[in-house]
């Protein structure tokens, strides 16, 4: 069955980041055809990625940089002393390395993340995210095993490795996601 341009977005683990891209769904049952070309991380970027993971994944998973635009990461990095009610400040050298790393791999696709001038601190505020999670009920999110949309990995079993494919979704107490 031919469908109209269906913005199915698949995310692949490449170059340490997630790459979100629009894709056509052509055949029924054949979602997520995907092809992505990405350059491998340089040695220096691998070190930065490891530092990012170390410093930014103690309270939640290390969100892939490509989930937000640079201006969002900059805002987050400039307000770490009051980060969602916590203090996540870093020493200046680590701070600089992480901020540069996030900026280099931030989303450049404003169609997915544009907030019409506003700067999102949360991935879950971006129009792309909202559209993708329209059918996810409040109860699924607020239950104790999930708590909030910030816990991507509670539902996306491969989120930490950068993959958000539908077949990998399993919501606690609800199970697999069937469209």
Q: Which residues bind ligand HEC (CB under 6 A)?
A: 8-11, 32, 55-56, 58-60, 63, 67, 76, 80, 83-84, 86, 88, 98, 122-124, 132-133, 135-136, 140-141, 146-152, 154-156, 164-166, 169, 171, 177, 179
Contact 128, 109 (CB under 8 A): no
Contact 172, 146 (CB under 8 A): yes
CB of 174 to ligand HEC, least distance (A): 8
Distance (Å) of CA 67 to CA 3, 45, 130: 26, 18, 13
CB of 61 to ligand HEC, least distance (A): 8
Pick 41 or 52: Cβ nearer ligand HEC: 52
CB of 106 to ligand HEC, least distance (A): 11
Pick 43 or 137: Cβ nearer ligand HEC: 137
Contacts of 157 (CB under 8 A, 6+ apart): 168, 169, 170
CB of 27 to ligand HEC, least distance (A): 16
In DSSP notation, 111-174 reads HHH--TT---S-GGGSHHHHHHTTTS-HHHHHSTTT-STT-HHHHBTTGGGT---GGGBEETTT
Pick 15 or 77: Cβ nearer ligand HEC: 77
Pick 84 or 111: Cβ nearer ligand HEC: 84
């Amino acid at each position: 069955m031919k469908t109209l341009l269906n913005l199915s977005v698949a995310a692949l683990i490449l170059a340490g980041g997630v790459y979100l891209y629009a894709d056509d769904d052509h055949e029924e049952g054949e979602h997520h055809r995907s092809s992505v070309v990405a350059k491998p991380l340089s040695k220096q970027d691998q070190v930065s990625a490891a530092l990012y993971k170390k410093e930014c994944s103690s309270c939640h998973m290390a969100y892939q940089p490509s989930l937000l635009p640079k201006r969002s990461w900059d805002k987050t990095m400039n307000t770490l002393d009051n980060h969602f009610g916590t203090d996540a400040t870093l020493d200046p050298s680590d701070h600089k390395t992480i901020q540069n790393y996030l900026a280099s791999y931030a989303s450049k696709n404003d169609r997915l993340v544009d907030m019409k001038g506003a700067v999102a601190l949360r991935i879950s505020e971006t129009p792309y995210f909202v559209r993708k999670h329209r059918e996810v009920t409040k109860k699924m999110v607020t239950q104790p095993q999930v708590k909030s949309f910030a816990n991507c990995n509670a539902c996306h079993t491969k989120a930490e490795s950068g993959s958000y494919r539908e077949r990998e979704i399993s919501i606690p107490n609800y199970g697999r996601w069937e469209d």
